Structure 1
């Protein structure tokens, strides 16, 4: 059975059990501040488990793309080393929201595995929660009895809280679970050791394939449990492991999920998978990681230096360094695997097909950049080794290479061992843990339980029509972070406050309290389908009626900028082509940012055309045409633009201004005339094939033009000219260029004379020529002079110092043969001497420069060099 057939049979089976089949949610999460990535199939249904909203369908089944590389579920460092952990994986799941429970979940799981997939019943084991004294919970007897009617009791294993009790987090819905494990060993191996003893023991051929979670409790902040009013079923079956079991192989990587990618890696490297354990690990890392990276980019998350983007960059770089270190791949190669992945999975996940070119370009550029980093890191590591007096490299210095320059520690260890050095691993680990502690401390959030003031009902958003409303507090809780201190999260029965989403910032404002107090709303976010308001304090009387008031001016500016992004998107597609797609946006009150796919820098002419296009739409006074409830299919038929990586329901909201129509939940102007004027302030690349425009509108443009006018007046005043300032500046530039030429000629003449002087002053010391002196030339002339002398004089050591514009300069030249024979390094020498001029520098072993802010230290630096090299 192929992997495609396995996936299709799962969905067909549960469709036959009256489940609604829903598409996978994006792997990158945008509306849950507690998670960066979907790390389990249940993530997109959290709002139902929490009771924040009701599911339209009581029974659901899907295949969910997941990523586990950070936080509690972090499998990254295991990936490749074994054959069953992955970063990106598929989770096949069936769900019941207050509908069926343990009986149906257990019987259907057994039916699917043994009757549809025809797994050998004698190879299957099940585990049941044994109870926990901590929580005063007993054996899950209901599940035990249900399994006992299906399988022999010697195949039922009692599992601990660690293995058989599922929790969403430190707080929230939870419950016992029942796992199904498969023993894939040969009959001979099974006869030696019973499979029951290998369950949950990390045996590569006795693995868990399905987890049936029975959500029946809520974990409170104090650790206690309370029963939920409705019970739910949440199941997850590892698709890759299931394929391994059904295709009769011993490893996930031997299934048709991974073999096509591994075959391509074999073609690229000339290596054969299975011939060398170290190379096998590297090939598994590459095959796994390209999936995680490609799916993340398809969902709209580009590699970057922070947040979710940093995680994706880290995965990509791990694949590159394994290819670099163990497979000899010193040129970009990962991007070549994208087409194989698309061919294999594009039918099930069409976003891969539509984003192929973007994925390839981003991956190739990231590879190229990191390979450069590796080259630079090798030079820096050589310098660290040269500074090491004994044979153990300081762990702190190795950590600096890792943390500051991104040089992988495993590569550092490998190179050190090849050169006969060791690494102070304890020092490295200490530095790493200190950094993690700082990071963890900065991001830790302490949350109390929700305190219910009024019974929770469906929350109503009024913000499209009202900026002020009478509201009632439903619940609140206290949260604390190191950065923000203590705050309160407030949930109202209705609210005019727009929550952060779709690139638009959340509203700010205040609450009017009957006694005259004011509670300021600092931010508004959406969490698990609830609009949550952040405040520094609570109303004194929680049951009082409250008036929620949005900051009207800030909202109006934000709405203008949001509407302008729609017009900008239309302009870019009209002027650059239909390949342009939005890749991200940030809409604030003061400015807007728009990221889009395009493979070349926009010319000045193109930027002007884009600005003109948007301003023409503004001046046409186009009215807003809003449809708040239209079917997704109807919206698509009208030509509405949907964004990859966004989660849309069956009913969507469309925003139209003239020919611009998009799916959007944000706030907008009633007429484009309100935007007043649109001005691009910057355009540039943020990744391969992705560019960013930053722009302003309305009163921000008025201020922009006012500042420009003031700057122009200032320029005219400096030029002392009432005429054309451009012509006056051109004339100044011509004069400056002529003076520069004359100055360069003078410097060259001075250097020629200086060269003759220096030759006469060279001192013979132990077979080499030495000179350390101050000169009156600039840095460029110092370098030219040093290299000219180096060509004319053998075994030369030359240190020059100069003072220019109140700053000190040093340059050190050492003939290459002399540097090698003496073990001297010009970069290290100038770094040491830089202390005397209160500066620093670096360079190559034979030539390096330093700069500093203390010219008075030049004499001491020039004198000290003798002591340093001796």
Structure 2
């Protein structure tokens, strides 16, 4: 069973302590949340850990954080940085923001149909990492629910794992006995199988039996038969998971070296219970939103109806909009914006589904959806202050995306109508491929496609849609596997085995041990180390042989492992006494304090071998240059756009740097120039880069310190450009500079950057821009190429201005040159500000060239039309050849003949030598029904082995022939036959 559980952040009023006989209806949602946190913090010594953002940290298996335990996965997997505070977690409590939409746990299509599904929810949770286990967990849960929340024990039932014959797992009798000892009646302690009571993190990883607490809304009866029966009257409220096993890749289970507890209780469902409601939407988490929706809509108030009783799906629309605006607000505040892939694509679909219900069902005006954001902030802002801080930005992004969707709606309707016209019968299923395209490419919610198709008397082929969905998921899965298949991944058992064998964690401090020599050249000393462990595949071995791919763990290393947005080092190592045998290091990764070097052994390697490590110094230095330059860019952007500008991702390689940041629109040409100038000034000054490792709490006092959302080690490395860190720690200083927490490798002085050029800046998605920049020789080359392209554009501009009255071939050639230069400007690395300037100039030149060509074509067509009219007299069927090499001019010639002889049927063929290509254009009089221009052109071009298209009045096409005499005769005969029949 794969379960996700809910969680949130802190805030609100202190909880009320109620006895079991007290009325629980007085609890506000803020009090419910805070009572939970206080219970575990104050009464049971748990550490509060704030909710993580809904975008998972470094976990490609998840689109969104969908359970409270997501941020603690490194602890369960044993991969937490041994220097981070996380390794000291023993008892933890929190309230986590969760999104259940997309991926394995997807409730999106169910939201609104009932009164309890949500895409955004809060999960209250408490954890034990190798501390307390089953007995304490159950006792604490029962105490909180019955004594502090005042829930009557007579309303509660518990389920436990009843065993699994297929896997051979016995029933969890220990948990059953615990509940009986607490005082739960035996007929309310119920066994269930693995589907209900065995929790797994994923296809592999930590897992274990769970026990769940269920609540009976009715009471005064024995409702044991309704537990886990999908009854709305008896619902699960808390899931207590006992992490005992690890699910291996072969699906077997192995006992974990450390037992842990992972619990989750949905705040929305708990509040429903404590406020005496039957619907989550009737609680104070939603009622202010429903009231706000009514004020903005053209419908009556919310009545809580579902199914067939919900006429016009009005109440469903209320629930959809209320749920989705919460999700949109939380996601955008956490930096997830509507986009075209991954989590961004899911959010785009949520927004469009909300817009559709808001405007089409609730009859609210455009902009009504975004106007609900302040109400969301009022309800949740105490727990999540970012909602108050970012209200205006959230509203702007929703409004902009709403406008885009309303435009897409028109395109979608046209596509549906066109598709239905081509189907043989309205009884035929609407093609699933078209429905999926609307969903995948235009962002249409599938239920909207269903509705639009049903309104036209048919239905979508959902079998084909599901097939296409499965294919996409398979491709995505295969891509992830292909990226991971060459990487050795240390799992929880591998790490435990290394520790049991007393294999020391890798000392990787030598990666920072480099210096400048007397000539200002960087010196990277080699590093002596000994092999501590060898992996062949996932198995620890004592030796590997030549040609074998393996993972090597050393006692110390100077290689940088992939982290902090910086790519790993490359290089090689040699064994003592074997200078000629190089073992290339292909990848370097870090897990649980162990640095793993992926190597293809050039000869036999054994545990205990002494090796000498050598970095690829050019690659390392290039990464250092780019990483320090990234810090300067980040600092410059905050100076340019304001301190609220946030980093949304970065990646540093030897070739280039990439930096994503929050901004409402793309940077202007002026801003891009300022960026380049700012960085260039710091580079020219050759400022010192200061790096110091200090306690995390001291570092947090530095004014202007930039951090990102992640768990930092303690002590932490601080990187400051131009200002000593001791000075920054002095509260009397007011010097401003780039100062960040960073584990990456950096330059010692900024001069080594030499130059920096932003070669690309664009909105990756609404509200987030991506900068790509190059340094050093690449930057100089970009500037040189940019200057050369500027000269080319200026030269072409002068030639175009001088040739306004030139002949058509000359003008066409100049237009082609504009196109070639435009491609070069668009696709060549040059300064982005210069690219924007040149693109603007080239667009103006293209417009000028097109205007000139149109005028010259019209002039030439007039001459040809006059000549043909004089040759053919007053014929009502004019089929002739013309000496032209442009289909556009042939068409213009036909148009001019038709204007002067409006009753005539006109077709012209132009034979291009020596290619043999034939150009064809035709026109028939308006209202003439005996012959369609499209049919005429298609027939003639088919005769010539080509193709054509057009309308009833005008058409054009191409074919090929060495002699068009026969084609002219055939075209005229075809027209006569049609008009005489």
Tell me the TM-score range normalised by the shorter chain.
Answer: 0.7 to 0.9
CA–CA distance in structure 2, aligned partners of residues 199 and 742 of structure 1 = 79
Q: Which residue of 2 aligns with 1:29?
A: 56
Query: 1:584 matched to which residue of 2?
Result: 649
Match of 1:270 in 2: 298
- Number of aligned residue pairs: 840
SS in structure 1 of the partner of residue 740 of structure 2:
strand
Structure 1 residue 755, shift from structure 2 partner: 7.3
**Taking structure 1 as the reference length, what is the TM-score of the superposition?**
0.83
> In 2, distance between residues paired with 1:563 and 1:788?
65
SS state at 2:123 partner: strand
The answer as to 2:689 corresponding to 1:624 is yes
Q: Match of 2:565? A: 503
- Distance apart, 1:247 and its partner CA: 1.6
Counterparts in 2 of 1:323 and 1:517: CA distance versus 1, 3 Å: farther
Instruction: Kindly indicate whether residue 378 of structure 2 is the aligned counterpart of residue 343 of structure 1.
Output: yes
- Tell me, in whole angstroms, the C-alpha distance in 1 between the residues paired with 2:98 and 2:687: 42
Alpha-carbon distance in structure 2 between the residues aligned to 1:455 and 1:207: 48
Contact kept in structure 2, 1:747 and 1:777, CA below 8 Å? no
1:416 aligns with 2:426: no
* Residues 1:4 and 2:30 are matched in the alignment: yes
Partners of 1:331 and 1:842 lie apart in 2 by: 40
CA distance 1:153–1:318, shift in 2 (3 Å):
same
- Cα deviation for residue 562 of structure 1 reads 1.4
Alpha-carbon offset, residue 534 of structure 1: 4.6
The range that moved more, 860-869 or 255-264, is 860-869
Equivalent in the alignment of 2:348: 313
* Structure 1 residue aligned with 2:750: 672
Instruction: Give how far 1:749 is off.
Output: 3.5
Alpha-carbon shift at residue 773 of structure 1 (Å) = 9.5
Q: 1:105 aligns with which of 118, 121, 137?
A: 137
Given candidates 305, 329, 339, the residue that maps to 1:294 is: 329
SS of corresponding position for 1:232: strand
Taking the aligned partners of 1:465 and 1:622, their CA distance within structure 2 comes to: 20
CA distance in 1, matches of 2:319, 2:602: 53
CA spacing shift, 1:567–1:374, aligned 2, 3 Å = same
Q: Give the superposition deviation at 1:431.
A: 3.9
Deviation digits for residues 13-70 of structure 1, max 9, x if unmatched? 1111111111112221232344343222112222222334563232111111122334
Q: CA deviation at 1:777?
A: 8.4
d(CA) in 1 for partners of 2:654 and 2:451? 51
Go from structure 1 to structure 2 and tell me whether the alpha carbon gap of 1:433 and 1:35 turns closer, same or farther (over 3 Å shift): closer
Q: 1:182, CA displacement in angstroms?
A: 1.2
Measure how far apart 1:738 and its partner are. 4.2
Deviation at 1:256, TM superposition (A): 2.0
Cα 1:577/1:429, change in 2 over 3 Å = closer
**Corresponding residue of 1:354:** 389
**In the TM superposition, what are the counterparts of 1:197-276 in structure 2 within 5 Å?**
197-271=225-299, 272-274=301-303, 276=310
Matching of residue 155 in structure 1 with residue 188 in structure 2: yes
* 8 Å CA contact 1:814, 1:847 repeated in 2: yes
Q: Is the 8 A contact 1:773 1:800 kept in 2?
A: yes
> Do the aligned partners of 1:678 and 1:701 also contact (CA within 8 Å) in 2?
yes
Q: What's the TM-score, normalizing by structure 2?
A: 0.75
The 3-state SS of whatever aligns with 2:114 is coil
Deviation, 1:94, is 0.9
Per the TM alignment, residue 324 of structure 1 is displaced from its structure 2 partner at its CA by 5.9
- Where does residue 57 of structure 1 map in the other structure? 89
Q: Does 1:20 align with 2:47?
A: yes
- Pick one of 780, 787, 801 that aligns with 1:734: 801
Closer/same/farther in 2, CA of residues 689 and 68 from structure 1, 3 Å limit = closer
Residue 354 of structure 1, CA deviation: 3.2
The 1-side partners of 2:974 and 2:552 are apart by 67
State the 1:92 CA deviation: 1.0
Query: What is the deviation of 1:595?
Result: 2.5
Q: CA RMSD in A?
A: 4.5
Structure 1 counterpart SS, 2:700 = helix
Q: C-alpha separation between the residues in 2 aligned to 1:796 and 1:530?
A: 85
Superposition deviation, residue 544 in structure 1: 3.9
Instruction: Give the structure with the larger strand fraction.
Output: 1
Q: Is the 8 A contact 1:30 1:36 kept in 2?
A: no
Aligned partners of 1:857, 1:345: CA distance in 2, in Å? 78
After TM superposition, the structure 1 stretch with the greater mean CA deviation from structure 2, 258-267 or 36-45, is: 258-267
In structure 1, how many angstroms separate the alpha carbons of the residues matched to 2:591 and 2:341?
21
1:284 to 311, 319, 325: 319
Partner of 2:72: 45
Distance of 2:869 and 2:231 partners within structure 1: 74
Kindly report which structure 2 residues correspond to 1:376-387, keeping only aligned pairs within 5 A, or say none.
Answer: 376-387=411-422
Q: 1:464 pairs with 507, 512, 537, which one? A: 512
Equivalent-residue separation in structure 2 for 1:793 and 1:378 (angstroms): 40
Comparing 794-803 and 500-509, the one that deviates more:
794-803
Measured against aligned partners, the alpha-carbon deviations of 1:401-426 in whole angstroms (never above 9, x if no partner) come to 44455455433333333223344443
User: In structure 1, how many angstroms separate the alpha carbons of the residues matched to 2:600 and 2:193?
Assistant: 42
Alpha-carbon distance in 1 for matches of 2:593, 2:938: 56
Please list the CA deviations of residues 535-563 of structure 1 after superposition, one character each: whole Å capped at 9, or x if unmatched.
Answer: 56698445143444443211211111111
- Find the counterpart in structure 2 of residue 719 from structure 1: none
SS at match of 1:228: strand
Cα gap change, 1:85 to 1:811, in 2 (>3 Å): farther
| Pair 208,477 (structure 1): closer, same or farther in 2 beyond 3 Å | farther
Structure number, greater radius of gyration = 2
SS state at 1:250 partner: coil
How far apart are residue 618 of structure 1 and its match? 1.0
Which residue of structure 1 lines up, in the alignment, with residue 544 of structure 2?
none
CA contact (8 A) 1:477 1:490 kept: no
* Alignment partners' CA distance in 2, 1:630 and 1:491: 28
Work out which of the residue numbers 412, 417, 423 in structure 2 matches 1:388.
423
Pick closer, same or farther for the CA change 1:529–1:837 going to 2, 3 Å. farther
Q: Tell me, in whole angstroms, the C-alpha distance in 1 between the residues paired with 2:554 and 2:397.
A: 43
Distance 2:192 2:552 in 1: 39
Say which is worse superposed, 657-666 or 308-317, in terms of deviation. Answer: 308-317
What are the ranges of 5 or more consecutive residues in structure 1 without an aligned counterpart?
481-485, 717-724
More deviation, 389-398/13-22:
389-398
Q: Does the 8 Å CA contact 1:614/1:678 hold for their aligned counterparts? A: yes
The answer to whether the 8 A contact 1:499-1:507 is kept is yes
Q: CA deviation at 1:809?
A: 7.6
Deviates more, 1:335-344 or 1:229-238: 335-344
Q: Secondary structure at the match of 1:104?
A: helix
Give yes or no for contact 1:479–1:487 (8 Å, CA) kept in 2.
no
| CA drift at 1:387 | 1.6
Q: Is this contact kept in 2: 1:31–1:526, CA < 8 A?
A: no
Alignment partner of 1:609 out of 644, 656, 674: 674
